[in-house]
Amino acid sequence: MGNDSIFMGASTKQGYDIASKSREIVRSLIADKIKDLSPAEQRIVERIVHSTADPEYADIAEISSDFVDESIKAIKARKDILTDINMVKVGINKYKGEIKCYISHEDAIKLAKEEQITRAAAAMRVAHKEGFDGIIVIGNAPTALFEAINLVENEGMKAKSIVGVPVGFVGAAESKEALAKTKIPNIITQGPKGGTPVAVAVANSLIGLEKLD
């Protein structure tokens, strides 16, 4: 069924026809905005816009120059994918490696109470303690993103790349700005916009890109 089926996840002729039409619409809306991106980066932004029905993401998405290459290397090596919440985890599909989320882990719950931090941040610490090595995908919790940055930069957490797209008006923009200033391969969305659909779109795009590579 071609690349559009991979791009949108279509599996039937009807689904493929819808995917093709959707992609045409998305491309017509954002073609000028993404013309300077690489083909792989264009596919990621197209999928974000399709998933959110919001062309503004073509303006606010920022992708570090090494993000795609390092992420696809990790995908090919079947490195773990770590998410901030379970909703992001269940949205990621067709991955042959493991997808992990520790927000409901008893150690994260205990640590959050002891340290008076959010469970999302505590979950990042638990993941590091468990030897995480792979891609971090954060769509909701700025505290998880701040903690992930700290763990990678100061505690040796093995993050091949970070999808940092938390949503909200408290801390989200600041956490993404902090990530963009690091040397960690990353993608962010400027400002308060982001969320589960964006995080899932990026992760599934990377999995699809590995198949095309």
Kindly list the averaged pLDDT for each block of 10 residues, start to end, along the chain of length 213. 50 71 84 95 95 95 98 97 98 96 98 98 98 98 98 98 97 98 98 98 94 66
For the question of residue 50 being annotated catalytic, the response is yes
What is the model's pTM? 0.91
Q: What digits encode the pLDDT tens for the residues 51-95? A: 999 999 999 999 999 999 999 999 999 999 999 999 999 999 999
DSSP count for the chain of H helices, then E strands: 11, 6
- d(C-alpha 121, C-alpha 44), whole Å: 27
pLDDT at residue number 73? 97
Spatial separation of the C-alpha atoms in residues 59 and 67, rounded to whole Å? 18
One of 43, 50, 79, 193 is an active-site residue; which one? 50
d(CA 71, CA 40): 11
User: Can you tell me the distance from the alpha carbon of 164 to that of 141, in angstroms, rounded to the nearest whole number?
Assistant: 9
Q: Are 203 and 137 in contact (CB under 8 A)?
A: yes
* HSE toward the beta carbon, residue 147, CA cutoff 13 A: 24
